[in-house]
Amino acid sequence: MQTATQDITPQISDTFPINGTDYIEFYCGNAKQSAIYYQNAFGFKLVAYCGPETGVRDRASYVLQQDKIRLVLTSAMSPEHEISQHVLRHGDGVKVLALWVDDAENAYQTAMERGAVSAREPETLKDEFGEVTIASIHTYGDTWHTFVDRSKYNGPFMPGYMAKESPIDVKPIGLKYVDHCVGNVELGDMNRWVKFYQEVMGFKLLITFDDKDISTEYTALMSKVVSNGNGYIKFPINEPAKGKKKSQIEEYIEYYRGAGVQHIAVATDDILYTVDQLRKRGVEFLYVPETYYETVEARVGKIKEDMNEIKRQNILVDRDEDGYLLQIFTKPVQDRPTVFYEIIQRAGAKSFGKGNFKALFEAIEREQEVRGTL
Ligand code: FE2
């Protein structure tokens, strides 16, 4: 099955400089309660807030942070609000994948000249801590990319937000940065969105997986991974492929009512600790059977971690030419079978766990079976 191709030629000139992920914003039904979940279960600290108490009348937003990962959870105050409409249609889901840039206006103008669709024109927001310039474009589904220049700002998050501390004793679990964010798009749309990232945002195609790489007896999908110039932003894009039964991508699109963010992979340096903590705090993970571990050492060779512990925590292992990686996937974090998280620890490996696709997909199919959606 040597159908995957990986191009790791370094990009000479970066036509669309991005420094990294700035924040990920969820529109949710009850941001106040979601904020408690992310504090207690995932160990994020509450750092900022906006809402009626800060003069924002139509919504409330909670900004949560753990090392370099920043989540914003937002709910609306009225049923007519576009946030409420988004939640009605999609359930809780990712609205914004915000990108940290040096010049938000320039990023927006460049994207627009190259064919992007505007979501929000550039605006410079100011308060006593300085200024932040933001501008947004549309990507797949109802999802936006917001460009953020915060070089002239030293407040807690953005003008309009006040610093706010967690009322509870939050214990971080070692999450460090966003490794990659995966989008699910409708059948036949993958190449259109890959082209968008290439042509509008100067990304390059990193890897292609076809349905021979990612299939089980019942379901299949195709995936292409695009990455920006410095490689800090990696967006795999999935589309369903024909199989005997309904694929997890089709299930997602049915329940999300369209394309959207499927999973956010967050990196840790100590996956055994991170996953142990998540489990103790009530986060559920996909399950791979014991038989997975019968062949794992033959496939990946020696690793630094204790294989018994890896097995006990049900963590997946894969190896590529640069090293190995450890990964595990949560079950969906809301009632609709849509968004979930991946916890990943890289020991040199730059890939995405191709060797685990089959075990992973079978694990998802078992969940689909229980949900009656296979
Ligand atoms: Fe992933």
Say how far apart CA 122 and CA 91 lie, in whole Å. 28
Q: Which band of pLDDT confidence, cut at 50, 70 and 90, is reported for residue 12?
A: low
In this chain, the answer to whether the domains covering 18-163 and 175-371 adopt an identical fold is yes
**How far is the centre of ligand 1, averaged over its atoms, from the C-alpha of 319 (Å)?**
15
CA of 164 to the centre of ligand 1 (A): 31
Share of the chain above pLDDT 90, in %: 81
Compute, in angstroms, the gap from residue 143 CA to the centroid of ligand 1.
18
Mean pLDDT of 83-99: 98
Q: What is the distance in A from the centroid of ligand 1 to the CA of 342?
A: 6
- What mean pLDDT do residues 143-164 have? 97
More confident: 351 or 257: 257
- Alpha carbon separation from 19 to 148, 203, 346 (Å, rounded): 10, 13, 20
Confidence of residue 247 (pLDDT cuts 50, 70, 90): confident
Q: Return the higher-pLDDT residue of 44 and 5.
A: 44
pLDDT at residue 8 is higher than 80: no
Instruction: Indicate the pLDDT class of residue 161, thresholds 50, 70 and 90.
Output: very high
Can you tell me the distance from the alpha carbon of 71 to that of 46, in angstroms, rounded to the nearest whole number?
Answer: 10
Q: Give the distance (Å) from ligand 1 centre to CA of residue 29.
A: 26
Q: How far, in Å, is the centroid of ligand 1 from the Cα of 331? A: 13
pLDDT of residue 7: 52
Q: Are strands 45-50 and 162-163 parallel, antiparallel or unpaired?
A: antiparallel
Spell out the CATH class of 175-371. alpha beta
What is the distance in A from the centroid of ligand 1 to the CA of 102? 27
* Cα of 43 from ligand 1 centre, angstroms: 21
Residues in the chain: 374
Q: Residues 353-364: pLDDT tens digits?
A: 888 888 888 888
How sure is the predictor about 3, in pLDDT bands with cuts at 50, 70 and 90?
Answer: very low
Distance 288 CA to ligand 1 centre (A): 16
The residue ranges of every structural domain in the chain are 18-163, 175-371
Please give the pLDDT value at position 354.
Answer: 86
What does the pLDDT read at residue 1? Answer: 36
7 Cα to the center of ligand 1, angstroms: 18
**Ligand 1 center to 332 CA (angstroms):** 14
The rounded distance, in Å, linking the Cα atoms of 248 and 311 is 25
**What's the CA-to-centroid distance between 359 and ligand 1, angstroms?**
14
What mean pLDDT is predicted for residues 75-92?
98
C-alpha 182 to ligand 1 mean position (Å): 7
Judge whether residue 9 has pLDDT over 70.
Answer: no
Spacing, Cα 65 to ligand 1 middle (Å): 21
- The Cβ of residue 9 has, within 10 Å, a number of other Cβ atoms equal to 6
d(CA 14, ligand 1 centre) in Å: 24
Between 358 and 177, the more confident residue is 177
Q: What is the pLDDT of residues 307-344, one digit of tens each?
A: 999 999 999 999 999 999 999 999 999 999 999 999 99
Rounded Cα distance between 52 and 293, Å, is: 52
Task: Calculate how far, in angstroms, residue 166's C-alpha sits from the geometric centre of ligand 1.
Answer: 29
**In the predicted model, what is the mean pLDDT of residues 50-72?**
97
Q: Please give the radius of gyration of the chain, using alpha carbons only, rounded to the nearest integer.
A: 20
Q: How far apart are CA 330 and CA 124, in angstroms?
A: 37
**131 CA to centre of ligand 1 in angstroms:** 34
Looking at the domain that runs over 18-163, which CATH code has it been given?
3.10.180.10
Residues 219-232: tens digit of each pLDDT:
888 999 999 999 99
Burial code of 303-333, b = ≥16 C-beta within 10 A, e = fewer?
bebeeeebeebbbbbbbbeeebbbbbbbebb
Interval between CA 352 and ligand 1 midpoint (Å)? 6
pLDDT the model gives residue 359:
84
Residue 103's CB is within 10 A of a number of other CB atoms, namely 15
pLDDT at 246 (0 to 100): 84
Question: Nearest 5°: phi and psi at 31?
Answer: -60, -35
**What's the gap in Å between 179 CA and the centre of ligand 1?**
8
The pLDDT value given to residue 278: 98
Q: In DSSP terms, which residues pair with 186 in a beta bridge?
A: none
Question: Cα of 30 to ligand 1 centre, how many Å?
Answer: 27
Rounded to the nearest angstrom, the distance between the alpha carbon of 80 and the centre of ligand 1 is 35
> Strand order of the sheet with strand 175-184?
5-6, 204-209, 220-227, 234-241, 175-184, 260-268, 340-347, 323-329, 316-320
Mean pLDDT of 39-48: 98
Instruction: Measure 327 CA to ligand 1 centroid, in angstroms.
Output: 9
- Supply the mean pLDDT for the chain: 93
Calculate what percentage of the chain has a pLDDT beyond 70. 97
How close is the Cα of 265 to the center of ligand 1, in Å?
Answer: 5
For residue 150, the CA-to-ligand 1 centroid distance in Å is: 28
Q: Is the per-residue pLDDT at 233 higher than 90? A: yes
For residue 2, pLDDT over 50 is answered with no
Ligand 1 centroid, distance to 291 Cα (angstroms) = 22
